[in-house]
Amino acid sequence: MERLKQTILAEGKVLSNTVLKVDAFLNHQIDPALMEEIGKEFADRFAAAGITKILTLESSGIAPAVMAGLVLKVPVVFARKRKSLTLTDHLYSAQVHSFTKQETNEISISQTFITQDDTVLIIDDFLANGQAVFGLIDILKQAKATIAGIGIVIEKSFQDGGKSIRNAGYRVESLARIAHLSDGNVTFLEEEN
């Protein structure tokens, strides 16, 4: 998606060969117009998939997921990482280990909001090692929901997540795929082909 790539080039900061900071439009400050376009793009790509719900993970997945939900006219559920005062009973939960942060979180959703009748699109902001997405897939399997695919805003293709999820048979649509980060520069995958 061209506008997203231009925004990454203009406002992203390469912190190291593995980490891209996008606090200016996605992870801290949010650019609503860009999110709207991202939502439309996900909706277009999955228009024929019969989506009934979108599932994401708090916090940075929520903005792009809500915009896609607005266009597809379906509810958006976000998995919680922290214990909630009200989200206590009848949960689907999964363990998500972050190699980046070296921590494991239990993520949960209420069993009320996703059922075996749902066809679900997973949306997340970053795809690195894929642990968050595999946690969300685990939850959807517990719910016996149909998994239509995975929409990712920024995929770091030099890490294993994208390959593992595609190899597991899932459709992954990433709006920007980064081939590598080096010397402060971002190289997108297409530029290399």
Would you tell me which residues interact with ligand G4P (CB under 6 A)?
19-22, 27, 57, 59-60, 98-101, 125-132, 156, 161
Phi, psi of 52 (to 5 degrees): -110, -20
| Residue number, 69 or 130, with CB nearest to ligand G4P | 130
Does 128 belong to an annotated binding site? yes
| Residue number, 52 or 127, with CB nearest to ligand G4P | 127
Least Cβ distance, residue 121 to ligand G4P (angstroms): 17
Q: 42 Cβ partners below 8 Å, 6+ apart?
A: 64, 67, 68, 71, 121, 123, 151, 173, 175
In SS3 terms, 11-74 reads as HCEECCCCCEECCCCCCCCCCHHHHHHHHHHHHHHCCCCCCCEEEEECCCCHHHHHHHHHHHCC
| Residue number, 43 or 63, with CB nearest to ligand G4P | 63
Count other Cβ atoms within 10 Å, centred on residue 44. Answer: 13
Least Cβ distance, residue 67 to ligand G4P (angstroms): 16
Least Cβ distance, residue 79 to ligand G4P (angstroms): 10
CA 50, CA 82: separation in Å to the nearest integer? 31
| Residue number, 100 or 115, with CB nearest to ligand G4P | 100
Does 15 belong to an annotated binding site? no
Does 94 belong to an annotated binding site? no
Does 10 belong to an annotated binding site? no
Annotated binding site for xanthine: 20, 27, 156
